[in-house]
Structure 1
Amino acid sequence: MSPSSSPGAVDPTIFQKLLDITLSLSAERHLPRLYEQIITAAQDFTRADGGTLYILEGQGAGQQLRFEVMHTLSLGIHSGGTSGQAISLRPIPLWLEDGQANHQNVCAHVWHQGTPVNIPDAYEVEDFDFSGTRAFDRAMQYRTASLLTLPLQNHAGDIIGILQLVNARDPGTGLVQAFNPALEPVALALASSAAVTLDKQQLLQGHKDLLDAFIRTIAQAIDAKSAHTSAHCQRVPVLTELIAQAACRAQDGPLKDFTLDDEGWYELRVAAWLHDCGKLATPDSLLDKSTKLHALSDRIETIQARYAALIAQETLAAADRTDAGLQARISQWREDCDFLARANIGGEFMRPEDQQRVRDIALQTWMDHTGAVQPLLTAEEADMLCIARGTLNNAERLRINQHIDVTLQMLEVMPFPKTLARVPEYAGGHHEKIDGTGFPRGLTGDQMSWPARMMAIADIFEALTARDRPYKPPMPLSQALSILRDMRDRRHIDADLYALFLDARVWETYAREHLLPDQLDVQDPTAYH
């Protein structure tokens, strides 16, 4: 009889298999796939028909073992892990209601004791409660006999899970037999290796979750600084991902080879969430500048007070003389005051004739409380009211634009791992233009990655269609797409990505979720090509 087939013997090749599987487990970064590999390897080693992986969760008296993966080869059961089939079984509590350790369940017992339990036949054991196992057997017309339950103990000595194997099979006859005691140390070594790898991956996932939470907190803090750009930092990642998904589906053209793996997607998401992190250094007075004259307060009220004083002065003076034109002048002043209030709101475009009217009004005068003659508008106020687009003058816009410099400064000093090395380039490029006239570095399209160019379109489209900007009404799709088309023609955004944005109907997917019904005025995008 060969050593591999004699009772209690272990196949000598199993140690090489153990080494190979250990190396394979240590290279796996995806937790569900790692769970699958642990079960598959353990079943292969022990020739088990079934296997279940439990993962520790909870704290204190609430600790329990959650079903993570279940495999039963003869029944075709494959639940949890990467299967897409959820496991409906309730977790196993590690503590009883009276606060005592749960030794009734064999998995809970192994967790408390930290040592394996090898049971030849579950139906002949009275030390543990196998009522759940028997109920499963009745429902599935199965017969659970041998069980090998192993602790997953990490390098710190903590048990982070339990591996239970069911029904070892004889390699020759296929009949169920007890688990070979000689295999216990090998199976325990596999469980220990799996625990260390699993612990490392859980630690990495924990760090990743912490980073994600921190990133989202920064984005929410930026949005909270200004109610007028609320949720911008949260919507740009949505749009960026929609564009990237369309690019990954492209079958032809310059984007046909574009693809992102799991790490690439994560890198893109981090960059999108952090694209405006430099706004943390932007003064709130600029982020909150909802009107052209807004500073600590809206100075339009000061101008309105001057008009009120002017009208009162003229009315009082007219009481001592006949002034047939007074009412006409009062009417004109009120009309001018209303005009200035409208001009103060800002918008996408201010007509040159309206700007000239502001300058003409600035030449008019009123008398202050000292009797000194003052202009109705100061030079600064006139300049502010003549802002052609939005509510910021050139100096303020420059200050706002400096947020991208701060973004780059913040991101470039962060010790990103190799998998996130391109975050600064992606996030820092969303104000660059294809023709090289953007900022902060004046990069041309050839100098920008595809994700950076995607983010530029996402940032613009979100800003155009945002429904929470007080200086403009929500822009309909027709107007937003027209502006994007013009930016494509001026080589401000990438032409291929713009075509993809239209043809893949990214604009429509985003609009259905994030825009108001009144904004959805485009069905056929042909006119915007």
Structure 2
Amino acid sequence: MAQRIIKLYASEFPENEPFVSFFRRPDVKTVFLKNSNFFELKAPDEHAIFFVHETAFTSNLLRFLGYFDKTGKNLPLVIAGDKFEQSYLEHLFANRPFTHVKPAIGETELYETVLKVRAGQASFLPEHDYAKELQTARENIESLHKIGMALSSEKDPDKLLELILTQSRNIAGADAGSLYLLEGEDQLRFKLSQNVSLDWSVKENSALPINGHSICGYTAGSKVAVSLLDAYDIPATFPFTFNKSYDQKSGYRSKSMLAVPMRNKSGEVLGVIQLINKRADYESKTAGQTLALEMIRPFDHDDVELLNSLASQAAVALENSRLYQDIKRLFEGFVKASIFAIESRDPTTHGHSERVAELTIALAHEINNIHSGELAELHFDHKRLTELRYASLLHDFGKVGVREEVLVKAKKLFPYELDGLKDRYRYIQKSLESDFYRECLEYAVENGIERFQLIRPSIEAAFRARSQDVQETLDFLIRANEPTFLEDGSFNKLLELGKENHLGRDGLLTPMLTERETHVLSIRRGSLSEAERIEIESHVRHTFKFLSKIPWIKDLNRIPEIAYAHHEKLNGRGYPNHLSREEIPIEAQMLCVADIFDALTAQDRPYKPAVPLQKALDILRMDVDQNHINREIVDVFINRQVYRVLEGRMFR
């Protein structure tokens, strides 16, 4: 009789037949364990049998699977219930004998079944192919390693989410899946959904509260994974329900389900990965083909372990991606602040850097479509476009190192110099007036009033002529102060004025033009003297020095070089380094064309009017003929109408 004793470790069972009678048998010795006590059983009797009711098993599926995987692997297992078939449940157990019995079984039949289980004649006896199991374990480790590398190298947030969900489905063999990200402290944002059977991958944007009303909300709130054998039959111990509306609309059948939180190293939940319907035929699946119910399997303990590992890697990748995006936003803010600093010192060029960047990037996109000629070998991917954009935005940053009065100089004379010139000419006029009255007084005293009245008209005429001559000279100088082309006659007149002085009756000499005024007003074109032009041109060196101080990542390390060369000319007569065509980076040649076009068409330059569109394009052609800029680039710029990205904003 002692040999027939059956020792059981049993979960809680309903108080009905055949279980009540079975447990009362004298040769059935049962240790009833509530869930928490079950998992605390560290060293079960090696001759015992685990006997678990389906309700207890499904209510704590992951804990039971984890426990059975680690404890008493050789002990047989009997699960009683009628919600799932043996063929479905046995996919959960690869490490132990397993038998499934229905509640409708008679007490005697149940007893005989348990005897067979004890004798090693269970319905499901796993056959171990240890070599294959070892190979599978190695493949899983290798897959996780490759997935980890792929996740860590992906910086694009959208592509990263796609990769996380796709690899999660691949490693668990899931037909469908969804991905949610934490938003704030109390809700998830539904970001992505994939489904092989329905052949779709859809970006979502709906919110889901973190509470017990939904599977993913519960997973995020509890910070533990949830596995369901059937989403349509959720154990009563769970507070959530499953929304069948999607299945009803699409004709899909969601059955096995696994939801895993993505937690960082601090244990904080960043999101949830939800997988649906593990497929028996995953390796041979066909997108768009209906998934047969008999092909659906439950997610087993290995799936949970693998997905937990992947979710941890995904959380790290998400944090890295967010950090990368934060750094990008920080740098974008720095670039915008730099542009603001430039434009604050030179308000007349407001918007220039952004417009040049917009033109240059549009030009790069058009060059990508060129399939013949010098530019056919060029291709600007996302990394090169980013590098080119930053170089374009920061190409004038060195202007912060140029004196502000030179930077914003609209006329040949600085405003205070023009005011000084006008004040001096007012003094000369007053001096002429004073000399006129003194001459009149002296003549009247010496010759009498009557004779003075006779000569007075001629004295007044001479005074008016001298006064008018001084005013005309001042008017000429004010015109010469404009940054327009200075003709030879005007140039010579300025040189003569530079030699003249006004001599008052008091003996004081007042120059009609100072040496500085003569030099500056004699500028043939524009408003800058040679020294000032050199100072303005120094902004390129300042830009290079500034940008070279930034520890650029590899993808952006040519930004200083590109910005440095944007004023070079193909004939070697540009500045600051007089580079030849071969020495000028092609990106700098593109930037140069955009820079010239915007400078010509900008409507906010006080020292020159905006040039009409056609004339601006003609000037670009002239620069090509003079071997200043690249002909192929200008052809693309004009023929592909790259300039239209600014249409309605800048040119007419």
State whether TM-score is above 0.5. yes
1:343-386 per-position Cα deviation (integer Å, ceiling 9, x unaligned): 22313x22222222333343443468986221122110121112
Q: Does 1:357 align with 2:466?
A: no
Which of 274, 277, 281 is the matching residue for 1:171? Answer: 281
Is 1:8 the counterpart of 2:89? The answer is no
Pair 1:370–1:475, CA change in 2 (3 A): farther
Residues 141 and 343 (structure 1), Cα distance of their counterparts in 2 relative to 1, 3 Å cut:
farther
Structure 1 equivalent of residue 461 of structure 2: 324
Report the equivalent of 1:515. 650
Residue in 2 aligned with 1:120?
Answer: 229
State yes or no: 1:54 paired with 2:180: yes
Which amino acid in structure 2 is aligned with residue 245 of structure 1? H
Q: Which runs of 5+ in 2 are unaligned?
A: 1-89, 95-132, 283-290, 441-455
1:285 maps to 405
Q: C-alpha distance in 2, partners of 1:217/1:513? A: 26
What residue is the counterpart of 2:361 in the other structure?
241
Asked if residue 260 in structure 1 is aligned to residue 380 in structure 2, the reply is yes
What is the SS of the residue equivalent to 2:519?
helix
Paired residue type of 2:540: I
Q: Could you tell me how far 1:17 is from its partner in structure 2?
A: 3.4
1:337 to 2:474 alignment: yes
Question: Does 2:350 align with 1:230?
Answer: yes
Separation in 2 of the partners of 1:369 and 1:460?
54
DSSP 3-state at the match of 1:250: coil
Partner of 2:257: 147
Residue from 359, 379, 403 that aligns with 2:515: 379
Offset, 1:156? 4.2
- Alignment counterpart, residue 221 of structure 1, candidates 327, 333, 341: 341
Note if contact 1:103-1:128 (Cα within 8 Å) is conserved in structure 2. yes
Name the amino acid aligned to 1:163: I
TM-score, normalization: structure 1? 0.85
Q: CA offsets, 1:211-267, max 9 Å, x none?
A: 222122112211111112222222221121122222211121100110012211111
**Aligned 8 A contact 1:8 1:182 in 2:** no
Q: Conserved in 1, the CA contact under 8 Å of 2:231 and 2:257?
A: yes
Q: 1:438-470: CA deviations, max 9, x gaps? A: 222221110122101111222222222221111
Between the aligned partners of 2:595 and 2:528, the Cα distance in structure 1 is 18
1:495 aligns to 2:631 (yes or no): yes
Q: 3-state SS of the aligned residue for 1:122?
A: coil
Worse-superposed segment, 12-21 or 149-158 = 12-21
**Hey, what's the Cα distance between the residues in 1 that align with 2:92 and 2:257?**
18
Change (3 A) 1:275 1:264: same
Unaligned regions of 5+ residues in structure 1, if any? 81-86, 95-101, 521-529
Contact persistence 1:170–1:177 (CA under 8 A): yes
Aligned-partner SS, 1:151: strand
Provide Cα deviations, 1:24-82, integer angstroms capped at 9, x if missing partner.
Answer: 33333333222112111222233323211122233xx5x532222111233343212xx
SS across alignment from 1:160: strand
Taking the TM superposition and a 5 Å limit, the aligned residue runs for 1:66-85 are 66-80=189-203
The CA deviation at 1:301 is: 2.2
Which deviates more, 173-182 or 481-490? 173-182
CA contact (8 A) 1:220 1:234 kept: no
* Counterpart secondary structure, 2:571: coil
CA distance in 1 between counterparts of 2:642 and 2:392 reads 17
Percent identical among aligned pairs is: 32
Task: Decide whether the 8 Å contact of 1:236 with 1:462 is kept in 2.
Answer: yes
Structure 1 residue corresponding to 2:558, chosen from 418, 422, 428: 422
Give the secondary structure class of the aligned counterpart of 2:568. coil
Q: Retained in 1: the 8 A contact 2:435–2:505?
A: no
CA distance, structure 1, for counterparts of residue 479 and residue 260 of structure 2: 75
Q: Which amino acid aligns with 2:338?
A: I
For the pair 1:454 / 2:590, whether they are aligned, the reply is: yes
- Is residue 228–residue 290 contact of structure 1 (8 Å, CA) maintained in 2? no
Query: SS where residue 66 of structure 1 aligns?
Result: strand
Q: Which amino acid aligns with 1:250?
A: I
Q: 2:209, 2:305 → 1: CA distance?
A: 27
Name the residue aligned to 1:20: 146
Residue 459 and residue 143 in structure 1: after superposition, are their counterparts in 2 closer, same or farther (change >3 A)?
same
Distance in 2 (alpha carbons) for counterparts of 1:47 and 1:227: 61
2:188 aligned with 1:65: yes
CA contact (8 A) 1:228 1:287 kept: no
Q: Which residue of 1 aligns with 2:426?
A: 308
Structure 2 CA distance for aligned equivalents of residues 277 and 153 of structure 1: 43
- Give the length in aligned residue pairs: 494
Asked if the contact 2:148–2:313 (Cα under 8 Å) also holds between the matched residues in 1, the reply is yes
Does the CA-based 8 Å contact 1:223-1:233 persist in structure 2? no
Mark the CA change 1:168 to 1:238 in structure 2 (over 3 Å): closer, same or farther. same
CA distance in 1, matches of 2:505, 2:383: 68
How many Å apart are 1:304 and its aligned residue? Answer: 2.0
Among candidates 290, 298, 309, match of residue 416 of structure 2: 298
Q: Equivalents in 2 of 1:417, 1:88: separation in Å? A: 33
3-state SS of 1:41 partner: helix
Does the residue aligned with 2:416 lie in a helix, a strand or coil?
A: coil
Shift of residue 426, structure 1, vs aligned partner? 0.7
8 Å Cα contact 1:222/1:233 also seen in 2? no
Question: Could you tell me how far apart the structure 1 residues matched to 2:629 and 2:391 are?
Answer: 19
Please identify the structure whose Cα radius of gyration is greater: 2
For 2:330 and 2:512, locate their aligned partners in 1 and report how far apart those are by CA, in whole Å. 56
**One-letter amino acid of the structure 1 residue matched with residue 226 of structure 2:** V
* Alignment match, 1:346: 483
Structure with more relative contact order (C-alpha pairs < 8 Å, separation 6 or more): 1
Which string of whole-angstrom CA distances, capped at 9 and with x for unpartnered residues, describes residues 126-153 of structure 1?
Answer: 534447x334344444443333111112
| Whole-angstrom CA distance in 2 between matches of 1:492 and 1:157 | 61
- Whether the aligned pair in 1 keeps the contact of 2:570 and 2:629 (CA below 8 Å) is yes
Find the counterpart in structure 2 of residue 105 from structure 1. 214
Q: Tell me, what secondary structure is at the counterpart of 1:374?
A: strand
TM-aligned CA distance change 1:442 to 1:120, over 3 Å: same
Alignment equivalent of 1:193, drawn from 297, 301, 313: 313
Report the alpha carbon displacement of residue 15 of structure 1 after superposing the two structures with TM.
4.2
Give 2:537's aligned residue.
401
Q: Which moved more, 1:20-29 or 1:282-291?
A: 20-29
Q: Distance in 2 between matches of 1:441 and 1:155?
A: 52
Computed over aligned residues only, the root mean square deviation of the Cα atoms, in angstroms, reads 2.8
1:34 has 2:144 as partner? no
**Contact 1:236 / 1:459 at 8 angstroms: preserved in 2?**
yes
The answer as to whether partners of 1:43 and 1:49 remain within 8 angstroms in 2 is: yes
1:481 to 617, 620, 634: 617
In 1, the alpha carbon distance for the partners of 2:317 and 2:172 equals 20
CA deviation vs aligned residue, 1:94-153 (integer Å, no higher than 9, x gap): 4xxxxxxx343332332233221112333433534447x334344444443333111112
Instruction: Tell me how far 1:303 sits from its aligned partner.
Output: 1.9
Q: Secondary structure at the match of 1:256?
A: helix
How has the CA–CA distance of structure 1 residues 184 and 289 changed in structure 2, closer, same or farther, with 3 Å as cutoff? same
Amino acid at match of 2:259: T
Contact 2:92 2:298 in 1 (8 A): no
CA–CA separation in structure 2 for the residues paired with 1:69 and 1:252? 41
Q: Which moved more, 1:108-117 or 1:439-448?
A: 108-117
Contact 1:310/1:367, CA 8 A, preserved across alignment:
no
* DSSP-derived class of the 2:374 partner: coil
Give the secondary-structure state (helix, strand or coil) at the position aligned to 1:26. Answer: helix
Counterpart residue number, 1:206: 326
Residue aligning to 2:121: none
